[in-house]
Every structure is written in C-alpha cells, then in structure tokens.
Amino acid sequence: MYTPQVWRSPPAITGSGAGPVITPPSTSRNASAIVNASVVEKASIVVKASIVVRHLFESKPITPAVLATYDEAVAVELKRLTRILFVEKFGETKEFKKNKEIAQYLQARVGALVGPGPVQEIVTMAYNEVGATAPYMTAAHWDRFVSIVTEKVRDLRGDIVAAKAEKEWRAYLKQVLSSFV
C-alpha cells in the first residue's frame, strides 16, 4: 500500500568554535498543511472503501443506473470488483457444481465406451459444437452435448450401445438438473 511521505526541512547545522550544533527543523505551516492534507486524503479513501463494502454486503445490483448515483471513484471500484467477485464466487454456485458433476460423469461414461484416446477428441469437439464449456452449460446445452456425443459413440460402437448409453445419460441429466443441490 502506498503511504505518502511528509517532507520536512532538514535540520540546520551551524557551527561555532566548539563544534557543530544541530537544531531540529521548525514545523512550519506548510508541513502542518501537508500532514492535514494527508489525513484528509486517507479519510477520503476509507470513506470510499466503506461505501463499496456496504454496497457489496447489501447485495445491491451493479447497474449503470446504480453506479451513476455514486462518486466516480466508488463506481470505478465497484466495476473493477464485479468481475473479480464473479470469478471467485461462481465456483460456489449450485449450477457450477451440477455442471462439473455432469461433465465428470459423462466423460467417465464415454471413456468407458470408446477408450481414453477418443474420449478427449469427442468431448472437446462436442463442447466446441455446443459453444460452451462445462461450467457455463444450461439444460439445452447438455441436451445438445449428449446428442453430439451419442452420434460419435454410434459411429464407433454401434446403434445398440449408443441407444443404451443415450437413455442412461439423459436419465442422469434429468435427475441432476432437477435436483436442488
């Protein structure tokens, strides 16, 4: 953290026959004004930080209309924190946890059917075609993902294996996506 320095005049060194005499610097009005300005500046920073923290703890929205009601420095800090907090807290959401569970389940099941080499190719290609990665998938994305993966399994293992796998995967998707956890 940056701490502003208060500059004072150096001590005066004078000399008379008995050696140098050091006199302490005088506290002038300028030095006092600098100290007061520094305190005011720090207090201003604390007030702005408290406004930001209060806004976040009250879980208020961060929309352009809300940001317009704040001082520019507060609005800039809230905008900066929005992305940081989203990234940090997204991993704790129930949707994220469900999606990670589904992704692990499907990757393990596809791997059991086609082997470890093709599974990476199939899963990566399916995510690319869906246009999303596992943490951000919706029910519609997962439906499309299962359809794409099923077609690839059908090409490699046949219709019966693919139909059985699709039935199992869709039942699992329905169960997990409808659960409350």
Mean pLDDT by 10 residues, the chain (181 residues): 52 51 52 67 82 79 82 84 77 87 95 91 94 91 96 94 95 88 56
**Whole-number pLDDT of residue 110:** 95
37 Cβ partners below 8 Å, 6+ apart?
Answer: none
152 Cβ partners below 8 Å, 6+ apart?
Answer: 114, 118, 122, 125, 126
**Whole-number pLDDT of residue 69:** 85
Distance, CA of 72 to CA of 70 (rounded, Å): 6
**Whole-number pLDDT of residue 14:** 52
State pLDDT tens for residues 59-86. Answer: 777 788 888 888 888 888 888 887 777 7
**Whole-number pLDDT of residue 30:** 57
CB 38 within 8 A of CB 4: yes
Distance, CA of 111 to CA of 123 (rounded, Å): 10
153 Cβ partners below 8 Å, 6+ apart?
Answer: 110, 113, 114, 122, 161, 162, 165
Which residue(s) pair with 14 in the sheet?
A: 21
State pLDDT tens for residues 29-54. Answer: 555 656 666 777 888 888 888 888 88
User: Which has the closest alpha carbon to 129: 151, 114, 109?
Assistant: 151
Distance, CA of 156 to CA of 137 (rounded, Å): 26
Distance, CA of 136 to CA of 96 (rounded, Å): 7
Helix H or strand E segment including 22: strand 19-23
DSSP label of 70: S
**Whole-number pLDDT of residue 104:** 95
* The overall pTM is greater than 0.75: no
CB 109 within 8 A of CB 157: no
**Whole-number pLDDT of residue 73:** 84
Residue 23, classed as helix, strand or coil, is strand
